[in-house]
Structure 1
């Protein structure tokens, strides 16, 4: 009987561990178990029509598209920083440090800065 006790204890431990890891059976996942994706991967899944909260089997083409989306967002941020740096708002900001600060903030804001640039700077003829 003492020899069988470790076998029974390890079996009971596996049964209790399954409930502690948010799994109610061996193959079923509880609804609270949510898959975490980064923002661009979640947007890619939403563009394809998938729910980003569920598991998705990534293929090679999917990974290439994700990399292209990262490159596109980086290029948008670079373009925003360039537009911000070249704009001096009709001579109001000629100091290089202020222009670099605005360029850095435009880089961080990315596409939001492009909308602001179009509405304020381009239509308002500030640049």
Structure 2
């Protein structure tokens, strides 16, 4: 029986002992938690580092949902403004207006800045 002991793979057999705490701390420091952009923005607004684990509560999840609704409404509003604008009669084709509305939906707040600077101040709509 003693002859077979070196043949057994007992490496890591005692991994549940005192070294497990050190290994867990190293794993927690090396693992970077990946959040989506809205969740990371929410954590940064609260003053937390988005690279570390954060224990989400019910109110946190409600705030994240509200941020998603806000970004969706901004994008829908940008698409609506783009669709309703005809650039002083230059564009009356519905397909082109839908393409511009889709582009505005994808750009969201960036299109709203463009709309304000060019279309509103430039009196194009």
Q: TM-score, normalised by structure 2?
A: 0.84
- The residue that corresponds to 1:11 in the other structure is 13
SS in 2 for 1:82: helix
How far did residue 55 of structure 1 move? 0.8
Q: Distance in 2 between matches of 1:122 and 1:71?
A: 26
How far did residue 26 of structure 1 move? 2.6
- The residue that corresponds to 2:83 in the other structure is 85
Q: 2:39 aligned with 1:45, yes or no?
A: no
Q: Any stretches of 5+ residues in structure 2 without a counterpart?
A: none
Residue-pair matches, total: 120
Which runs of structure 1 show a deviation greater than 2 angstroms over 4 or more consecutive aligned residues? 1-7, 26-33
Q: Distance in 1 between matches of 2:123 and 2:49?
A: 43
After superposition, give the CA deviation of every residue in 1:46-82 in whole Å (9 maximum; x if it has no partner): 0001110111000011011001100110000000000
Q: Which has the larger radius of gyration?
A: 2
How far did residue 11 of structure 1 move? 1.5
- The residue that corresponds to 1:120 in the other structure is 118
After superposition, give the CA deviation of every residue in 1:30-52 in whole Å (9 maximum; x if it has no partner): 65421101000000000001110
- The residue that corresponds to 2:31 in the other structure is 33
- The residue that corresponds to 1:21 in the other structure is none
SS in 2 for 1:29: helix
